[in-house]
Chains A and B, each alone.
Chain A
Amino acid sequence: MAYSAKVIDHYNNPRNVGSLDPKDDSVGTGLVGAPECGDVMKLQIKVNEETGVIEDAKFKTFGCGSAIASSSLATEMLKGKTIEEAAAIKNTAIVQELNLPPVKIHCSVLAEDAIKAAIEDFKKKQAAKRAKAQEALTNA
């Protein structure tokens, strides 16, 4: 299958490959997909806890060129957005930007899932942090 120029560019020069500390409360981690299905994406966001703005995003992906490109593009789209704005990102935006063919749409769906999972993880950690602070306050 022929890949679009944008997919090839992201594959050859992936943006934001790497990892953030998953134990950091300001970091949300999303891990989606399965090795048996041929694609796994790990997408992480670092959020400013005051403003709710995503300051950094990193990914690692096991998958085809379109899966790598979808997650690479996702990290680019995430930076600078608030988590509310990020939650509104749709896979169709990725399909359009990368000119993904129909057989590769599932790659963009996976990227959207990864974004949602990372936001979810961040929110869960924040809630746990608040609960802990509350508990400390009550006990004091």
Chain B
Amino acid sequence: MALDLSRPIYMDYNATTPMDSRVLEAMMPYFTEKFGNAASRNHVYGWEAEEAVEKAREQVAKAIGADAKEIIFTSGATESDNIALKGAVEMYAEKGNHIVTMLTEHKAVLDTCRRLERDGKATVTYLAPKQDGLVDLEKLEAAITDKTIMVAIMMANNEIGVIQPMEQIGEICRKHNVLFFTDAVQAVGKVPVDVNAMKIDVLSISGHKVYGPKGIGALYVRRKNPRVKLAPVIDGGGHERGMRSGTLNVPGIVGLGKALELCIEEMPNEMKRLTYLRNKLKDGILSQLEEVYVNGSMESRLPGNLNMSFAYVEGEGLLMGLKGLAVSSGSACTSASLEPSHVLKALGVGDELAHSSIRYGLGRFTTEEEVDYAIQITVEAVNRLREMSPLYEMAKAGIDLKSVQWTHH
């Protein structure tokens, strides 16, 4: 099949995913004829909406090995992360106020932690990862104090796709009687997740990362051993066990349920297919270009994610050369922020290589032809830009770039 190059090929599945048409189909009736408020107990409109919500709750719970009663629906994972952290800090204030997290977390976790610190409500330890992006379990255990109430470590990283050792983290948390919260937005539906085997107490899910709609998310809150309680961030009618008030987004919830059901059905095949395509992309590029570095562990990683640094070329300039591809870069070359990706920095990737990084995210609709094309244009663009790069010229001439007196600006 010939490639349609009228628009860039989408390879940014870690940013968002297109909605699966089967999901849209499941949602449609709930926008129109089945428009009821799931909280209306007195008529069929309310009943059918409630029934749909409860079915979706089952579907979401099944995707992570939970009980339906443990799922609450939110507007998305940012909200879920906020409830998990702020809700726990408020609810467990008597026990302590300390949170342990990592420097590689998503901004929804990091910025929430910063606010809790700023407001004087919590103290936070930010662990640096090992060079491959994985948590150092000894450091994690050592960071836990008798004031620690929660460990917040994401399951799979959004930039480098690295999957953390969930079982071991869960074990440590149980041992110290600390809640284990994980932002599992990138992992749920992509790789197996089991809240019991992994001893997870609180977990965030997003609809639009799993081929479902935007504007819907979920939060898993363990109901027994231990029974977790979170103070609400939004007050109102007491929906969702009082943890998240607000009229339920029925079509969104139906979409999230259906999307996760499909992900689970297709997971075994999809994991194999995406691992093959991702490795083909990696090997295709590495075999044709020198000085390309993979960021993050290749052993413990999401099947569809690849993050690479191309020495001597700048990421944003490279993105412009990859205009046939919709990918993203860890470089932010704007006057507002000259800071490259906080995740790559935390891994100890030098600033210059962090500025040279590209994230490829493959997913359900990625084809082998698209991967072949991505390899070809990446190699062409990097070669062209290296010919234009003073750093490449200097390195080729044997100059140690670290010994040069640069003019910082």
Contacts and interface: CB of A to CB of B under 8 A. Distances in A.
Contacts of B301: none
Interface in A66-111: 67-68, 102-106, 109-110
Given A11-B320, A17-B387, A110-B409, A102 B333 contact: no
A62 B335 contact: no
A64 B314 contact: yes
Interface string A18-37: 01000000000001111111
Contact of A64 (B316, B388, B390, B407): B316
A132 B340 CA distance: 46
B336 A68 contact: no
A26 B287 CA distance: 42
Contact of B407 (A14, A32, A103): A32
B389 A39 contact: no
A64 B334 CA distance: 9
A40 B391 contact: yes
Given A40-B390, A40-B391, A104-B334, A68 B317 contact: yes
A35 B331 contact: no
Contacts of A11: 317, 320-321
Given A62-B389, A64-B320, A38 B335 contact: no
Contact of A38 (B312, B331, B336, B388): B331
A113 B407 CA distance: 10
A2 to B, nearest CB: 11
Interface stretch (B39-47, B261-269, B350-358): B350-358
B409 A35 contact: no
Contacts of B351: 35-37
B355 A61 contact: no
A68 B385 CA distance: 10
Interface in B395-409: 401, 404, 406-409
A65 B317 CA distance: 5
Given A60-B388, A106-B409, A36 B336 contact: no
B257 to A, nearest CB: 37
B49 interface: no
Nearest to B352: A35
Given A3-B320, A63-B317, A64-B317, A39 B391 contact: no
Interface string B78-98: 000000000000000000000
What does DSSP make chain B's interface, helix, strand, loop or mixed?
A: loop
A46 interface: no
A34 to B, nearest CB: 3
A19 B388 CA distance: 10
Interface range on chain B (Cβ under 8 Å from partner)? 20 to 34
A79 to B, nearest CB: 19
A interface, how many residues as a size bin?
20 to 34
B188 interface: no
B340 A33 contact: no
A39 B390 contact: no
Contact of A40 (B331, B338, B350, B406): B406
Given A38-B338, A62-B314, A68 B331 contact: no
Contacts of B340: 38
A35 B387 contact: no
B389 A60 contact: yes
A118 interface: no
Nearest to A41: B390
A103 B335 CA distance: 5
B313 interface: yes
A17 B338 contact: no
A33 B313 contact: no
Contacts of B387: 17
Interface in B316-354: 316-317, 320-321, 331, 333-336, 338, 340, 350-352
Contact of A33 (B317, B335, B393, B406): B406
A6 to B, nearest CB: 14
A119 to B, nearest CB: 15
Most interface-central of B313, B391, B392 (chain A CB within 10 A): B391
25 contacts: A11-B317, A11-B321, A33-B406, A34-B407, A36-B355, A38-B315, A38-B338, A39-B333, A40-B391, A61-B388, A61-B389, A61-B390, A62-B389, A62-B391, A62-B392, A64-B317, A64-B333, A65-B320, A67-B314, A67-B333, A68-B317, A68-B388, A103-B336, A104-B335, A110-B409
Given A31-B404, A38-B340, 19 more contacts: A11-B317, A31-B407, A34-B409, A35-B351, A35-B352, A35-B401, A37-B408, A37-B409, A38-B314, A38-B315, A38-B316, A39-B314, A41-B390, A60-B389, A62-B391, A64-B317, A67-B333, A102-B335, A104-B335
Interface of B: 312-317, 320-321, 331, 333-336, 338, 340, 350-352, 355, 387-393, 401, 404, 406-409
Interface of A: 3, 8, 11, 14, 17, 19, 31-42, 60-65, 67-68, 102-106, 109-110, 113
